[in-house]
Amino acid sequence: MGVQFHNPWVLLLLLPLGAFVVYSLRSDFGLKGGRKKWAIGLRTAILMLLLMVLAGFQTYALVKEKEVVFLVDRSASVEETDSAQEWIRRASAAKDERDRAGVVSFGLDGLIEKNLDARPVSEASLGADVNPGFTHLAKGLQVAGGLFAGKENRRIVLISDGRENVGDAAAEAALLKERGIAVDVSEITPPLRTDAAIEEFSLPEQLYQGEAFAFEVLIRSTFAGAGELRLYEDNREIGRHRIALERGDNRLALQGLAKEPGLHRYRAEFFAGADERAENNVHYAFTRVKGEPKVLIVEGKPGTSSNLENALKSGLIDYEVIPPGMLPSELAKYAGYESILFNNVSGEQVGGKQMELIEQAVRSFGVGFMMIGGEDSFGMGGYYKTPIEQLLPVSMELEGKREVPSLGLILVIDRSGSMTGDKLELAKESAMRTVELLRPKDTVGVVAFDDKPWWVVEPRTLDDKAEVIAQIGGIPSAGGTNIFPAVSEAAEKMLAAEAQRKHIILLTDGQSAVNSGYDELLKTMVDGKITMSTVAVGQDADVNLLQFLANGAKGRYYLVEDATTLPAIFSREAAMIARTYIVDRPFVPALVQPGDWGGWFRDGTPRIYGYVAATPKLTAQTVLSSPEPDPLLARWQYGSGRTVAWTSDLTGKWSKDWVKWPDFPGWFTEMVKWTFPQFSASPYEVNTTVTGNEVHFEVTAEGADAPDELEAVVTGEEGGESRIALTQISPGVYTGSTDIRTPGSFLLNLQAKDGSGKALNGSMGTGFVVPYSPEFRIPAGGAEEDKLQALAEQTGGRVLDWNDPEAAFRFEAQPERSLRGWERPLLAAALLLWLADIAVRRLALPWSRLAAFLAAASPWRRRARALAAESPAASAAGADAGLARLAARKSRAAAFYGAGTGGKAAADAPPQPPASPPPEEAGQETAPAGDGGADRLGRLLEAKRRGGR
């Protein structure tokens, strides 16, 4: 152990401190004797302690402990981590007890498996959940470097195949070198595979309809053989080609034809019998084909869109008609249409995911949307609080608009064990939305059932919606399924309810334990004017029973395959029993804000015979309205897109005068065209570069009108969205970048903004791909080994032999000082001495007696007396010495009082030891001979004592 000072120059103050001590000893501070010495000593000690603190007094010990962090590559290219785990275990077994080891795993992320400490590395040390899709060496080095606590003997042992594809490991290694941390490397050699990968797949970003183009494909192979390349356009196969592969790079150019306008995603897939890895056999590319616009018509009932089709044909607009069940589940498909038309489509026919994708396509990619009314649309379609209602210019909420008959509604919800998870959560959400649609005077009840019914909400008027909704949200799942008791109790409660219209909604996904007694129950419900609709969730439900109950109770039956449609079904049921949405009396629509559509109505408007009531939103433009007034035709801007609401039908049931109107085709075509994206040609040139998981954008604005701000909206295959503000680096040129955590195809939408950040009309959509993880690319030989060796050389590390893991701790350790600071103990001691100094100077105590008492009570004094008592010779000698001292005192007293010549002679004579008493007088004390002065002194003192009495 050694001693050092952080500020040794402070010790020069010891010289004035010594002068202060000398001066204090020679001065008079009002203290005398021992108190003065104590006070000066205490003050000197306090000043000495403070000087030690200011000088940075430290003790240190020389240690040679080694610190090693094992950095393990767990990306997908390292297929087996068991060997790396065994390598680390063997390496850590060779360390000394005080050496410290840590473990970090990395892929795209760097995660700590074991902190740096002296504990051995366990066999289960590689369990962290890392993203294996990328190799981010720099991130792993950064995390590993942050674990070290010491300043010497620090090393990172990197176990990897060196296939870095994200970040810059060399830059991070330079930072480690500055900190004195060496990086040792041990290469993992992946097994050789017979593999072929599509490295590149490209085609022009923009094409014209009917234009011929070439697909350019690069296939890299580790073997020679035959294979097949298949090409797809929007999941539709467009060609197969037999390929003769050579070892190495194989470049192909295949012909294609742009047939349909819109944004298209092409896919290339390669198949070969000898190929051992399929993850790298797929690649994607996007292109936008310019041509005639295309509209997607979704019709709720087959064959009801002929009026729409004829109008679009007359306007030379291409279209496609599909049922709701054929709606795509990929955002890229919606981006291929200029507009989407819902023709009397019920919400229960549209999945929740499809609604979200349509809303995103309109908001972010400028796709238009138009909803056409009918008995199954708007509020009657169950669109309340759905993404479709969000994008429309009208709301389904009608509260306060008209008098509505009082309603009684009881929801009977299956809460059995099979409903656990999303089904029960969606059922509860459906019930909550239904409650929100009802009015305060309505009666609502909720009964959940498994083996027996449980009243979540007893039938009550809806004066506190929040309380009812909170109770619904607490429904748990448990038990079996028994439908009859729950429906029976619901019907009994409904009979006693005071409501003009009474309805029950039953939802279940299972088979009932009892299937008898329903005939009498249904007769009771019909007699009491109670209707019931049933919802079967999945094919496991008792479909026959639920259909029978719905028909017998004059309700509707729903078979739900997609549970996300449940909220729309419940909302639709609530709207249908209210029967307030449909207004079926004739009227002539009134012009409100016709705008540029006013020219179509110069000669008046045809008569309407019915529509679905709705409420216009605050910023919407109502073009035509009813006498209520309810909006008949409304439009607005929603994000990048435009949407239109026509609340009547166009089949002729309510709009027979409109479909016969000579201007109908032109008017309808103009409405549809108004919803088209607000750019006819791309105002931007977009270049994307993918490096690892980072995508760089460079956008050039064509023309002189470059926007003040430009934002890129990136949307993944699952609909997740991220927004990137692009930086303008020169006039009309913008750049930006984003990180991608998982490979896939992505849509890119550019949104221009003015100086205040307000979005401008018009946007541009394109796409880019990260086809598969770069971990599955076929690397160039030797590059990885060279990279690992360069890292070791850059940081002063070593290249370790895979067969010698014990070498990880086999390096010369440099002595390192382990410092210990004493600031707090020294300050605490100074404080205690300062209190003692105050006590010495301010308290009037018998300090000499206290000092004598402390000295006598000290352990060494007690030991000395104990030893003296144990020795007989010492006891006798002590007794003789005591008698001699007593005799001497008596002689001096006699001489002082003048005891005569004899006394003086006796006093001057040397003291004699007393004679031993005779045996018979043992135990009696006798005075020594010739001590007459002592006797007289005794008598004098005795007389004086008596006289005092």
pLDDT band at 310 (very low <50, low <70, confident <90, very high): very high
What tokens were used for 800? Answer: 């370790």
Task: For residue 398, give the 3-state DSSP assignment.
Answer: coil
- DSSP strands (E only) in 65-123: 67-73, 100-106, 110-117
* Encoded tokens for 929: 């001979």
User: Which pLDDT does position 778 carry in this prediction?
Assistant: 83
Which residues neighbour 625 within 8 Å (Cβ) at sequence distance 6 or greater? Answer: 589, 590, 592, 631, 632
Give how far Cα 226 sits from Cα of 195, 245, 272, 325, Å: 12, 6, 6, 40
Cα angle 693, 694, 698 (rounded to 5 degrees) comes to: 145
Cα(19)–Cα(494) distance, integer angstroms: 104
Take residue 499 and report the two structure tokens written for it: 């409501």
Residue 918 has pLDDT above 50, yes or no: no
User: Which amino acid does the sequence have at 338?
Assistant: E
Amino acid, single-letter form, for residue 779: P
Peptide bond into 629 cis (omega under 30): yes
- Taking only the tens place, the pLDDT of each residue in 880-911 is 666 666 676 667 666 555 544 444 444 444 54
∠ CA 317-332-682, rounded to 5°? 65
* Strand, coil or helix: 714: strand
What separation in angstroms does the CA of 641 have from each of 189, 390, 647, 675, 870? 53, 13, 20, 7, 111
CA 879 vs CA 214, 872, 874, 884: distances in Å: 128, 11, 9, 9
pLDDT tens for 563-574 read 788 888 887 777
Amino acid (one-letter) located at 742: T
Res. 836 pLDDT band, cuts 50 70 90: confident
Q: What is the pTM of this model?
A: 0.61
Question: What is the pLDDT of the chain when averaged over all its residues?
Answer: 82
- Quote the tokens at residue 15: 């010289």
Q: In the structure, what pLDDT confidence band is assigned to residue 673 with cuts at 50, 70 and 90?
A: very high
CA distance 15 to 18: 5
Between CA 375 and CA 346 the distance in angstroms is 9
What would the pLDDT profile of 446-479 be if each residue is shown by its tens digit? 999 888 888 988 888 888 888 888 888 888 887 7
Q: Mean pLDDT, to the nearest integer, of 360-376?
A: 90
pLDDT for 946 equals 58
Q: Which residue has the higher pLDDT, 685 or 403?
A: 685
Contact between 298 and 223 (Cβ < 8 Å): no
- Asked, as a colleague might, if the bond just before 393 is cis with ω within 30 of 0, I would say no
Q: Could you tell me if 64 and 814 are in contact, meaning their C-beta atoms sit under 8 angstroms apart?
A: yes
What is the distance between the alpha carbons of residues 343 and 312, in angstroms, rounded to a whole number?
A: 14
Does pLDDT of 390 surpass 90?
yes
Mean pLDDT, residues 650-675 taken together: 93
Mean pLDDT of 749-753: 79
Contact 270, 227 (CB under 8 A): yes
Residue 72 CB contacts under 8 Å (≥ 6 apart), including other chains? 81, 84, 85, 88, 103, 104, 105, 106, 113, 126, 159, 160
Task: Name, of 433-442, 530-539, 661-670, 842-851, the range with top average pLDDT.
Answer: 661-670
- Residue in this structure with the two tokens 């003009």, named with its chain if needed: 500
Most confident option among 38-47, 104-113, 870-879, 935-944: 104-113
Per the document, the length of the chain is 949
Predicted confidence band of residue 706 (pLDDT cuts 50, 70, 90): confident
**Spatial distance between the Cα atoms of 461 and 358, rounded to a whole number of angstroms:** 37
Mean pLDDT, residues 203-217 taken together: 86
CA distance 939 to 714: 124
CB 367 within 8 A of CB 334: yes
How large a percentage of the chain has pLDDT more than 70? 83
Q: For residue 206, name the pLDDT band (cuts at 50, 70, 90).
A: confident
* More confident: 586 or 930: 586
Which range, 499-513, 606-620, 732-746, has the best average confidence (pLDDT)?
A: 606-620
- 189-194, long-range: CB < 8 A, 24+ apart: 189/161, 190/77, 190/78, 190/79, 190/161, 191/79, 192/222, 193/222, 193/276, 193/277, 194/222, 194/223, 194/274, 194/275, 194/276
Does position 166 have pLDDT exceeding 60, yes or no?
yes
**Above 80 in pLDDT, residue 385?**
yes
Reading the block at residue 544, the tokens are 């026959």
Instruction: Provide φ and ψ at 672, rounded to 5°.
Output: -65, -45
β-pair type (582-583, 590-591): unpaired
206 bridge partner residues? 288
The whole-number average pLDDT for the span 342-363 is: 89
The residue-averaged pLDDT of 402-421 equals 80
* Nearest-angstrom CA–CA distance, 141 and 164: 12
Q: Which residue has the higher pLDDT, 831 or 707?
A: 831
pLDDT band for 122, please (50, 70, 90 cuts): confident
Residue-wise pLDDT for 12-37, tens only, equals 888 888 888 888 877 766 666 677 77
Residue corresponding to tokens 């410092």: 819
Note the pLDDT tens digit of each residue in 616-660: 998 899 999 998 889 999 999 998 889 999 999 999 999 999 999
- CB of 282 within 8 A of CB of 772? yes
Share of the chain above pLDDT 90, in %: 24
pLDDT at 810 over 60: yes
pLDDT band at 915 (very low <50, low <70, confident <90, very high): very low
β-strands 212-221, 196-202 pairing: antiparallel
136 vs 71, 166, 694, CA distance in Å?
Answer: 12, 5, 12
d(CA 336, CA 348): 25
Over residues 257-275, mean pLDDT: 88
Nearest one of 274, 365, 388 to 679, comparing CA atoms: 365
| Per-residue pLDDT band at 231 (split at 50, 70, 90) | very high
Instruction: Provide DSSP, 127-188.
Output: -----TT---HHHHHHHHHTT--SSSSEEEEEEE-----SS-HHHHHHHHHHTT-EEEEEE-
Q: Which of 217-231, 316-330, 526-540 has the lowest mean pLDDT?
A: 526-540
To the nearest 5 percent, what fractions of the chain are helix, strand and coil?
35, 30, 35
Q: Which residue(s) pair with 539 in the sheet?
A: none
Q: Is 867 left (phi over 0), alpha (psi -120 to 50) or beta?
A: alpha
| Separation of first and last alpha carbons in the chain | 74
> How are beta strands 530-537 and 582-583 bridged, if at all?
unpaired
Q: pLDDT-based confidence at 929, cuts 50/70/90?
A: very low
Of 622, 629, 646, 649, whose CA–CA distance to 587 is shortest? Answer: 629
More confident site: 270 or 941: 270
pLDDT for position 558: 86
**pLDDT score recorded for residue 765:** 67
pLDDT at 932 over 70: no
pLDDT of amino acid 919:
43
Q: For residue 477, which phi and psi values (nearest 5 degrees)?
A: -115, 140
